[in-house]
Structure 1
Amino acid sequence: MNDWNQQIIKEFRANGGKVGGSFEGVPLLLLITTGAKSGQKRINPLTYLLDDERLFVFAAYGGSPTNPDWYHNLVAHPQVSVELGTEQFEATAVLIEGEERDQIYARETQVHPGAAEYEKKTTRKIPVVELVRRNSSC
């Protein structure tokens, strides 16, 4: 998986945020977190939802029974960096819960139908995280 992610990151950066293959036309960003245990920087390519001025990512992990490592990292260290296209900015990760979480995840399943499949494959509630820019609005 790490080599696969490295290829996506390399292609993302070489093409101004565009990636081909199975991610052709899929909105991707790079989320840079600080490792919860290691303290080292970690980079993960993620799909996202831009809803009005708000930017969301989803800890779906393909419908796995556990949350992805990047989610644990941002819970421990909510100050993150984001690469969106050719833009880079600092953000604070904010967990969205309750009815608002459900509404945003429902919107995600409308835009990206695969998200509904992930939800069906797991018993956990897939976390929704807003990436709030620290220096300006999205």
Structure 2
Amino acid sequence: MASFSKRLLQLAMFIHTLIYRLSHGRLLNVGDHIILLTTIGRKSGQMRTVPLYSVHDGDAYVVIGSYGGADAHPAWYHNLQARAHALVTDRGQTLPVIAAVVEGTEYERLWALLTTENPNYERYRSRTARTIPIVRLHHRGASQPMP
């Protein structure tokens, strides 16, 4: 992704996260279901938070690493690959989760669900040769802190 485009996306995500936190998710969830995903940076060890579109599948959140169709996976995806424990903030409530990458027939089922909810993902897929990852975030219980 071009440097200017990447910085613009980072600024937009920062502003989106700030508005989400200040409004407890009420201002940015019109028509979509936006959550905040907090991971631990695989290189920095710092907590990193990004707003993501999600759908529910049973009691799990499902997110997609589209990165707008860029040729690289988003940083949050790499962070989850290094450390699957994360936090999800949904309308002011924060839950500990564990991430699992979805594959096979389950991937196809969830891709259909995600693209029905948000058709832009098909456009993003047409922009890149990589397989866009889908990640399921399962609640892991309050007694398990983020390592």
Could you state the TM-score of these two structures normalised by the residue count of structure 2?
A: 0.85
How far is the alpha carbon of 1:10 from its aligned partner?
1.4
Query: 1:120, 1:87 → 2: CA distance?
Result: 35
CA contact (8 A) 2:87 2:96 kept: yes
Paired letter, 2:43: K
Aligned-residue RMSD, C-alpha = 1.5
Q: 2:27 aligns with which of 19, 24, 28?
A: 19
Paired letter, 2:27: V
Matched with 1:86 is: 92
Matched with 1:48 is: 54
* DSSP-derived class of the 1:48 partner: strand
Paired letter, 1:8: H
Query: 1:122, 1:2 → 2: CA distance?
Result: 20
- The reply on whether 1:9 has 2:17 as its aligned counterpart is yes
How far is the alpha carbon of 1:134 from its aligned partner?
0.4
Query: 1:38, 1:48 → 2: CA distance?
Result: 26
Query: 1:55, 1:67 → 2: CA distance?
Result: 19
Gaps of 5+ in 1: none
How far is the alpha carbon of 1:24 from its aligned partner?
4.2
Paired letter, 2:10: N
Instruction: Map 1:29-68 to 2 at 5 A.
Output: 29-68=35-74
Instruction: Map 1:69-84 to 2 at 5 A.
Output: 69-84=75-90
Q: What number of residue pairs does the alignment pair up?
A: 134
